[in-house]
């Protein structure tokens, strides 16, 4: 099973969620576009947290921690989404960069890449104030492109009101509320078990 993990914003916890998914499902990991590679590389984080996962190299890796279009320009490069092809591994978690509407080049956004790849999406969102607007806008944008959305993973302190509102107004399943972690390690991620909704998806 191939799943594209995207988020409502930058630093919403996509890489931690991807590590957790790879650790529990033995899926491979692929992040086609990496920015800020001199600061950190998400593939190294996933490799450390899910040591048995197969890790694929990026198609594009840029040094500066900016939006992909700007990071590419500063590195005298240009992103061509036609070059981004999914690896041959049947079971792979694909991680996006930033949110859906971050520019990749002069004419295309991250959501254009998601639409082109046509893989089902898990949307990672915060549990805190502002998540309703960000999450509902993201769901609307994905549906406008006819992208299949498997559900939402909320990351942070549990907020039942926000969870119920996202499910009701977004007409979507919240697959899991992932706990707010002060420290992240393989051992800790192993202790965060899948909720029933998520287990159903990955058992298919």
Active site residues: 31
Share in percent of the chain as helix, strand, coil (round to 5): 35, 20, 40
Alpha-carbon distance 183 to 53, whole Å? 21
The residues near 76 (Cβ < 8 Å, ≥ 6 apart) are: none
Alpha-carbon distance 67 to 105, whole Å? 10
Alpha-carbon distance 173 to 151, whole Å? 5
């Amino acid at each position: 099973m191939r799943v594209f993990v995207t988020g409502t914003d930058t630093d919403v916890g996509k890489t931690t969620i991807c590590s957790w998914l790879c650790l529990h499902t033995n899926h491979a990991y692929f992040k086609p576009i990496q920015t800020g590679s001199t600061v950190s590389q998400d593939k190294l984080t996933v490799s450390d947290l899910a040591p048995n996962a197969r890790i694929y190299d990026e198609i594009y890796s840029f040094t500066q921690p900016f939006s992909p279009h700007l990071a590419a320009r500063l590195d005298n490069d240009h992103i061509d989404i036609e070059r981004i092809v999914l690896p041959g591994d049947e079971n792979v978690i694909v991680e996006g960069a930033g949110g859906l509407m971050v520019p990749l080049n002069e004419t295309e956004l991250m959501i254009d890449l998601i639409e082109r790849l046509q893989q089902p999406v898990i949307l990672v969102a915060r549990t805190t104030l502002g998540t309703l607007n960000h999450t509902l806008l993201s769901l609307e944008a994905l549906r406008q492109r006819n992208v299949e959305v498997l559900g939402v993973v909320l990351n942070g302190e549990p907020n039942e009101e926000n969870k119920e509102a996202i499910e009701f107004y977004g007409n979507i399943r919240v697959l899991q509320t992932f706990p707010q972690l002060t420290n992240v390690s393989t051992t800790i991620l192993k202790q965060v078990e899948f909720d029933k909704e998520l287990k159903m998806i990955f058992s298919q």
